[in-house]
Chains A and B, each alone.
Chain A
Amino acid sequence: MNPSLANRLRIGFAITFALLAGVTVIGVGRLFQLRQDFEDDTTRSFQVEIAGEHLRQAFLVEQTTLRDGPRARGTYRRAVSSANRAAADARALASGDEGAEGLVQRRIVAERRWRRAIARPTIAGRSPPPTRQARFADRVIRTGDDLIGREITHREALRDDVAGDTRMTALLVGVGLISGLIAAVLLFSGLIASMRRPLERLVGAAGSLADGDLRARVSVGGPAETATLGTAFNEMADQLQSAYRRVEESRERLAITLESLSDGVITVDQTGVVSDANPAARRLLPEASPGTQVRGALSGPIPARQLERMLAGREQEEIHIGEGNAILAITASTLGGEEGEGQERGAVLSVRDISERARLEHMKDEFVLTASHELRSPLTSVQGFAELLMLEREKLDPKQAETVEIILDNTRHLVRLLNDLLDLARSDAGRLTISPVTIDVPPLIEDSVRTMRAQTTMRHQTLETEIEPDLPQINVEPDRIRQVLVNLLSNARDYCQDGATIRVTAARVDDDVEIAVADDGPGIPKAQVEHIFERFTRGDAGLTQRVGGTGLGLAISKSLVELHGGSIHLSSTEGVGSTFRIVLPALQPTAEEVDATRVMESS
């Protein structure tokens, strides 16, 4: 793995910093050194010059002492030793500086010669001629002046040298710094370039992937970061590709399943346009072919409101369309989303050919209808003749009378059962029709209660009514709704203990009229509540034995109420009681009626 970008940057910074710092340190050191050397050299030059002055003074002292001739031997000796000390000092100071060393040496040699040729003879009393004295003395003084003059020029040369060296050093430091900066810039642009290429490759590959080329991969390279990014991108692309393959496979499986399905499946998008239909759907419902608006294609066979409910996922029941030998059952489910908001996601309609089922059901219905008709004639005879016998009851002995009564009771039960079965068969066959009329609710309830009053009183049960004033009218077939109410009241009477209270209430609830029959009887076990409206479902076995009844009453009541566009509900708590609620749509008063009411109220 290549070093990471962060490490590269770190290294880059370190190198740049070291380079610049090195250049700076070397430059400053060099400048300092130059200054130091210059000062040292200058100082020594001054010292050499001063030593030269000392030599001159010592020589003057020597010359002066010689004026006294041989008497000055003692002073002269002291002057010589002082001059020798000055010469030793000068030599020591000049050592290492060739130019100065040579000049000091020449001065010393000249003085030595002067002593040999002039001083010693003078001390000995043989004073050389003045010209000879002057020649040797001049030589000493000239070489001394040479030394001093040389030091003055030497210092000037030193100053010029150090100025030149300082300029050169500053120039070199500048060049070093600029080179360091240039190196840093090159380093960083190199780093950026090393990242840009892999990134550009990544961008290109991502673009191809987005365009649908799932084989797009990127060669891993560059700094650790882009390398990791590249690896991750490739893994992501791998996963995308395999996920796509899986989706594609399951889509194919689904397509094959849909193709081979005998049920039709139609998918509808959120605007209601058919997006897909399998072969079975095309055969069963050719009008709903892909591309057509389902609202238009199915508006004939399915009422618009129901179709909207289906598309919105609120229709639980299957819808039957067609008639005679070709009947289709359609169920709808919405695609995803919560119930009620499915319309935004589209829906799936499943179409099943139920012609055969419908034919069998039709046969069954016909059979039940025919059978119940056929049973009626013999039943008429049995009931009629038993009644005949009862008319002449006084001619029968008590045992016979009781027997005939049992025959009559059971015949009546059989007749009720037959009537209930017939109602259900007609309801199933769609032959149960109603002829609704507009009526007030109170008389309907009062009629039913009156019918039941004697029977509840016999069992010491209380039968109460509570009807809200000003209830809207309802549009129903009175006999049928009365049948439902009497059925509910009979159930309450039969299943409740003696002395129970049965309440019939009627109230307006939103746009409906709700009629409730409530009792404080034993209640219905929770497990039975949801099945209570099914056929042959009855309460507690022991109780039903005693109560009798066909087990069809509530099923018929449900059919009848639904036939009126209403619904029936049960709520029950064991040991507390049961309440059956019939909800029927209230008749909305027409505008004229509202006006009429206003006129009446105002007059």
Chain B
Amino acid sequence: MTRILVADDSETILLLLRTRLEMEGYDVTTAVDGEEAMQKLGGEPGSEPDVILLDAMMPRKSGLDVLRELRAGGSRTPILIVSAHQEQEAIGDVSGHGADGYIRKPIDFDELLGHIRQLAPD
């Protein structure tokens, strides 16, 4: 089963994403900030997610920081950045930092699911 790690500082958004993605048949893990996401990623081997969804802005550690750290550590796991910001320039060129996609809030689930299917084919 495709595993997805979702990090967002909003409990509601996390609930929405978990519910919707589980409905689509994905195995969903959640984190409320970047720190927690890093902890979840550092778990027992073999449980690494197939796709990571990171909210760009989070307290403690932002999604962009996580992205940079992971790519610096050599991880190739597909990462999608979710942001309330429409402006590319506000969060920098995400693909330049190694992200595989950029999703705007409010989330268009057709677009999101399309991205996930493309990044983690069954």
Q: Is the CB of B85 within 8 A of A381?
A: no
**Which residues between 371 and 400 of chain A lie within 8 Å of chain B, taking CB atoms?**
373-374, 376-381, 383-385, 387-388, 391
What are 25 A-B pairs at a CB distance below 8 A? Answer: A373-B84, A373-B85, A374-B84, A376-B105, A378-B12, A379-B105, A379-B106, A380-B13, A380-B84, A380-B106, A380-B107, A381-B10, A381-B12, A381-B13, A381-B16, A384-B13, A384-B16, A384-B109, A385-B16, A388-B16, A388-B19, A391-B23, A411-B106, A419-B86, A433-B89
Q: Which of B85, B86, B89, B106 contacts A384 (CB 8 A)?
A: B106
A267 nearest CB across to chain B (Å): 42
Distance in angstroms between the alpha carbons of A381 and B11 in the assembled complex: 10
Give chain B's interface residue range (CB within 8 Å of chain A): 10 to 19
Q: Is the CB of A376 within 8 A of B106?
A: yes
Distance in angstroms between the alpha carbons of A426 and B17 in the assembled complex: 29
Q: Is the CB of B105 within 8 A of A380?
A: yes
- Knowing A381-B12, A384-B16, A385-B16, say if A431 contacts B87 (CB, 8 Å): yes
- Knowing A377-B10, A391-B23, say if A384 contacts B87 (CB, 8 Å): no
Q: Is the CB of B20 within 8 A of A377?
A: no
Mask for B62-104, Cβ within 8 A of A = 1, else 0? Answer: 0000000000000000000000111101000000000000000
Mark A residues whose CB is within 8 Å of B: 373-374, 376-381, 383-385, 387-388, 391, 411, 415, 419, 422, 426, 431, 433
Residues of B close to A381: CB separation below 8 A: 10, 12-13, 16
- Knowing A384-B107, A415-B106, A419-B86, say if A377 contacts B19 (CB, 8 Å): no
Mark B residues whose CB is within 8 Å of A: 10, 12-13, 16-17, 19-20, 23, 84-87, 89, 105-107, 109
Q: Which of A376, A380, A411, A426 contacts B16 (CB 8 A)?
A: A380
Q: Is the CB of B86 within 8 A of A383?
A: no
Residues of A close to B106: CB separation below 8 A: 376, 379-380, 383-384, 411, 415
B109 nearest CB across to chain A (Å): 7
Distance in angstroms between the alpha carbons of A310 and B106 in the assembled complex: 45
B91 nearest CB across to chain A (Å): 11
Distance in angstroms between the alpha carbons of A379 and B106 in the assembled complex: 6
B14 nearest CB across to chain A (Å): 10
Question: Chain B: which residue is nearest A379 at the CB level?
Answer: B106
Distance in angstroms between the alpha carbons of A379 and B20 in the assembled complex: 16
Question: Chain B: which residue is nearest A387 at the CB level?
Answer: B109
Residues of A close to B23: CB separation below 8 A: 388, 391
Distance in angstroms between the alpha carbons of A377 and B84 in the assembled complex: 7
Q: Is the CB of B84 within 8 A of A376?
A: yes
Question: Chain B: which residue is nearest A375 at the CB level?
Answer: B84
Pairs of residues from A and B, 4 with the lowest C-beta to C-beta distance, nearest first: A376-B84, A384-B16, A380-B106, A376-B105
Distance in angstroms between the alpha carbons of A384 and B112 in the assembled complex: 12
Distance in angstroms between the alpha carbons of A433 and B88 in the assembled complex: 11
Q: Is the CB of B87 within 8 A of A426?
A: yes
Q: Is the CB of A384 within 8 A of B20?
A: yes
Distance in angstroms between the alpha carbons of A85 and B84 in the assembled complex: 171
Question: Chain A: which residue is nearest B24 at the CB level?
Answer: A391
Residues of A close to B19: CB separation below 8 A: 388
Q: Is the CB of B12 within 8 A of A388?
A: no
Question: Chain B: which residue is nearest A411 at the CB level?
Answer: B106
Distance in angstroms between the alpha carbons of A377 and B55 in the assembled complex: 11
Distance in angstroms between the alpha carbons of A385 and B105 in the assembled complex: 14
Residues of A close to B107: CB separation below 8 A: 380, 383-384
A213 nearest CB across to chain B (Å): 70
Distance in angstroms between the alpha carbons of A426 and B86 in the assembled complex: 10
Residues of B close to A426: CB separation below 8 A: 87
- Knowing A380-B16, A381-B10, A388-B19, say if A422 contacts B105 (CB, 8 Å): no
Residues of B close to A419: CB separation below 8 A: 86
Distance in angstroms between the alpha carbons of A415 and B87 in the assembled complex: 16
B70 nearest CB across to chain A (Å): 24
A375 nearest CB across to chain B (Å): 9
Distance in angstroms between the alpha carbons of A486 and B89 in the assembled complex: 25
Q: Is the CB of A377 within 8 A of B109?
A: no
Distance in angstroms between the alpha carbons of A380 and B6 in the assembled complex: 15
Distance in angstroms between the alpha carbons of A431 and B88 in the assembled complex: 11
A521 nearest CB across to chain B (Å): 31
Residues of A close to B86: CB separation below 8 A: 419, 422
Distance in angstroms between the alpha carbons of A391 and B109 in the assembled complex: 12
Question: Chain B: which residue is nearest A435 at the CB level?
Answer: B88
Distance in angstroms between the alpha carbons of A433 and B13 in the assembled complex: 30
B57 nearest CB across to chain A (Å): 9
Residues of B close to A385: CB separation below 8 A: 16
A98 nearest CB across to chain B (Å): 151
Residues of A close to B12: CB separation below 8 A: 377-378, 381
A374 nearest CB across to chain B (Å): 8
B81 nearest CB across to chain A (Å): 14
Q: Is the CB of A377 within 8 A of B105?
A: yes
